[in-house]
Amino acid sequence: MSSENACPKCNTVMEKGTLQLSGKFGESPFTWEDAGENRIKLVAYHCPKCGHIELNAPPKKVQ
């Protein structure tokens, strides 16, 4: 099993998804923003076994 997809608490494969506001549909409304106002959409992972949730900001692309 890939360690990046494993729950750090129980080692179960985590499911990828997004956070949603109640009553809203579409892409995640949550972003990460640094001091320079660069925004990155967050990716959420949920463990179906223990309920642990992680938020990740994908790395910036090198141009």
| Domain residue limits at 35 | 3-56
Q: What is the pLDDT of residue 1?
A: 41
Q: Is the dihedral of CA 36, 38, 43, 44 positive or negative?
A: positive
Q: For every one of its 63 residues, what pLDDT tens digit does the chain have, with 9 covering 90 and above?
A: 445 689 999 999 999 987 766 555 555 566 666 777 677 777 889 999 999 999 888 777 666
Q: What is the pLDDT of residue 57?
A: 80
Is 47 a member of any domain?
yes
Is 63 a member of any domain?
no
Q: What is the pLDDT of residue 38?
A: 74
- Say if CB 20 and CB 63 are below 8 A apart: no
Q: Which of 7, 21, 4, 20 is nearest to 49 (CA)?
A: 7
Is 29 a member of any domain?
yes
